[in-house]
Amino acid sequence: MEILHQTDLKYNYFYIKDDNEILAKIEYQYTNNSTITIYHTEVNEKLKGMNIGITLLNKVVEIARLEHKKIIPLCSFALAMLKKREEYKDVL
């Protein structure tokens, strides 16, 4: 399963696509020079139970770490995961 990346004028997002249907995505935006805001995470029922949400979140975390930024999680899923898991404390 390939994770794709898209940037546009409003949001950036990582996503998984099957044919022409987006099955999962995480939307984020550079808020300023020091933060990335995650707005939304969505996973289609077809991919439930496969940890796809975490996989997509990890892509944003990877960017935050590489660019030395913190994450502001407005998305309830991202907020819960970033607070729950010790390995994310450096970006929260």
pLDDT at 20 over 90: no
How much is the pTM? 0.93
Per-residue confidence (pLDDT) for residue 65, from 0 to 100:
98
CATH superfamily name and code, 4-88? Gcn5-related N-acetyltransferase (GNAT) (3.40.630.30)
Q: Is residue 28 within 8 Å of 11, Cβ to Cβ?
A: yes
Q: Where are the domains of the chain?
A: 4-88
pLDDT tens track for 27-51: 999 999 999 999 999 999 999 999 9
Q: Cβ distance 65 to 52 under 8 Å?
A: no
Residue pair 54/81 in contact (Cβ under 8 Å)? The answer is: yes
Amino acid at 21: E
8-state DSSP, 80: H
Q: For the chain, give the longest Cα–Cα distance.
A: 36
Sheet holding 12-18, edge to edge: 4-7, 12-18, 21-30, 35-43, 70-73
